[in-house]
A and B are shown apart, each in its own frame.
Chain A
Amino acid sequence: MDIIPQLILNSVIAGAIYTLVALGFNLIYGTAKFSNLAHGVIAAIGGYAVFYLTKTLNLNVYIAIILGVTLAGLVGWASNKFIYLPLRKRKASNMILFIASLGVMTALQAIIAMLFSSQFKTLSQDIGTQKLFKIFGGVITQTQVIILSSTIFIIAGLALLLYKTRFGKAVRAINDDEEAAQIIGINTNKIIGLVFFIGSAIAGLAGILIGFDTGIEPTMGLDLLFKGMVTSIIGGAGNIYGGILGGFLIGFVENFSIWRISGEWKDAIVFMLLIVFLIFRPRGIINK
């Protein structure tokens, strides 16, 4: 096992996860026009839902995953419906939405910790017996193959949805100018509600995949939120494809830096990267 191919593989897998989180974050940022700090904790909800359904209720894994993804989507949808939408209708400032989402994040994270304790848990059911694949001298687990393929699937699906359907057209119109979109008869509130559902469901899927690959803990949401946010800023906030580039860039920087520096500094390094980007390229890799 060589170190370089393994590092590249690890980077790609981490990048795929960050991309998934950033895709949803970007979708929501683009339409609702604020940084939804609760986005990460919704990923954790997905992971914990599957944990509960499979380990306590002994449900079939696939059904549990579908239910987990749906639940994450519904929580996102409800947070918009009952909190962000009323605020936007009142023309509340960006800061108010930002702080409201901070409140949602704080409360949901603590609720998860109350229900499931703060301990680290794994979703994986066959620990140690996973199939391993060898690619270019590196090792990759079956779960990680699923992570990569589902990321590609989501990216492709989202591209189709955004560029080939009426719904996608409406989303892009709101992205450009919400008022104009409203004037030409787009029900923007309904579309934004759906965007919250889809974005949160994708985050939920990311949380579930992490749960199978490594494990879940209540604070994972904060970590994912940071990575997703940094990813989307580096890629260009609100730009869907920028998120993909940003995700993999962070994956690489993170994994290659811990090759030389101790792993605990990962988060600090990612934020250094963010600050460097914010100073030199505040609109991200892809300038909009």
Chain B
Amino acid sequence: MAYLIHLAILFAIYAILGMSLNLVVGYTGLLSITHAAFYGIGAYTTAILLTKTGAGFFTSLILGIFITIAVSFLVGIVLSKFKGDYYSIGTLGFNTIVFAIFLNWQNLTRGPLGIPGISRPKLFGINFDNNFVFLILALVFLILVYFVSRFIVNSSFGRVLKAIREDETAIAVFGYNTLYFKLIIFIISAVIAATAGSLFASYITFVDPSGFQLMESVFILAIIILGGLANLRGPILGALFLTLLPEILRFVGFPADIAAQMRQVIYGVILVLLMLYRPQGLVGEYKL
């Protein structure tokens, strides 16, 4: 049971990540492969504030959001100059730079050693040390993100995003400043990812750079491509499937490091097979 709760928390965090990435990739049609960078910024902000200062979880969450807004604003402006492959390569590059910062800014992040001893949130006397209580917190965030996403995609703002995805020139001709729309949604998506990072850091109580590598971004991308782009339930299905899948490997009984690699193989093969046979994923409404 304890293990099921653990899996459910991981599922909630990945579903939040997937939903936020879906706003950029699925609804706006920008293939961003850098979500782990913002996820990491949130996680590290929480980790550093909670271990080095006396700040609480929710303070760190808000500070993480502000840092992410600033960073994603700058990155979004740079990225807005690129199209197609170049956009994706630019995002890959940003992920690499952020990973290098986590790894090498040793005074702040302790580099490869990581930061242990992060405490769990406390709010109104509720203590989240119990995993079940934490799961409820994670699910509250998940539901919140779901409704925020639903609100965004059903609003007139969301319709412009879909129009940008279908034909950016056409919507620009109608007088919409597409740069502004792309930037806003990129920032919103990054902020949600940072929130997921804060949750992750305080749940696991430990962060190190390896969790925020490029491969993590690929994993989040796999979640939404498998689940289905531009569908609100898609990332939930994708996250459910891809967090449970490794557990099947555990039952088969591979040694730990082989199982970790086996997981990567499966993610890779899933991506290839989906592209070949079902590019819209399980319930996707947008075909790449």
In the complex the two chains form, what is the Cα distance from A150 to B15 in whole Å? 49
Task: State whether B271 touches A106 (Cβ < 8 A).
Answer: yes
Contact count A vs B, C-beta below 8 Å:
124
Query: Which of A47-55, A109-117, A136-144, A184-192 is near enough to bind chain B?
Result: A109-117
Give the chain A neighbours of B90 by CB distance below 8 A. Answer: 274-275, 278
In the complex the two chains form, what is the Cα distance from A108 to B269 in whole Å? 9
In the complex, how many residues of chain A place their beta carbon closer than 8 angstroms to a beta carbon of chain B?
Answer: 45
Task: State whether A92 touches B275 (Cβ < 8 A).
Answer: yes
In the complex the two chains form, what is the Cα distance from A32 to B3 in whole Å? 47
* Residues of B27-81 contacting chain A, CB below 8 A: 31, 33, 78, 81
Query: Which residue of the partner chain, among B96, B215, B275, B276, contacts A226 with CB atoms under 8 Å?
Result: B96
Within 8 Å of chain A (Cβ to Cβ): is B92? yes
In the complex where A96-B288, A114-B265, A226-B96 touch, is A102 in contact with B218 (Cβ < 8 A)? yes
Give the chain A neighbours of B101 by CB distance below 8 A. Answer: 268
Chain B residues touching A, majority SS? helix
Give the chain B neighbours of A133 by CB distance below 8 A. Answer: none
Give the chain A neighbours of B215 by CB distance below 8 A. Answer: 106
In the complex where A106-B264, A278-B82 touch, is A100 in contact with B271 (Cβ < 8 A)? yes
Within 8 Å of chain B (Cβ to Cβ): is A167? no
- Return the CB mask of B236-261 against A: 1 if under 8 Å, else 0: 00000000000000000000011001
Query: Which of A158-166, A246-254, A259-267 is near enough to bind chain B?
Result: A259-267
Within 8 Å of chain A (Cβ to Cβ): is B279? yes
In the complex the two chains form, what is the Cα distance from A265 to B84 in whole Å? 27
Task: State whether A271 touches B85 (Cβ < 8 A).
Answer: no
Chain A residues touching B, majority SS? helix
In the complex where A107-B264, A264-B103 touch, is A226 in contact with B92 (Cβ < 8 A)? yes
Within 8 Å of chain A (Cβ to Cβ): is B172? no
Q: In this complex, what residue of A is CB-closest to B264? A: A110
Give the chain B neighbours of A268 by CB distance below 8 A. Answer: 96-97, 100-101
Within 8 Å of chain B (Cβ to Cβ): is A5? no
In the complex where A114-B261, A278-B81 touch, is A264 in contact with B276 (Cβ < 8 A)? no
The interface of chain A, by Cβ under 8 A from chain B, is 34-35, 83, 86-87, 92-100, 102-111, 113-114, 117-118, 222, 226, 229-230, 233, 262, 264-265, 267-268, 271-272, 274-275, 278-279, 282
The interface of chain B, by Cβ under 8 A from chain A, is 31, 33, 78, 81-82, 84-86, 88-90, 92-94, 96-97, 100-101, 103-104, 214-215, 218, 221, 225, 257-258, 261-265, 267-272, 275-276, 279, 288
The 5 closest A-B pairs by CB, nearest first: A107-B268, A103-B271, A106-B268, A110-B264, A271-B93
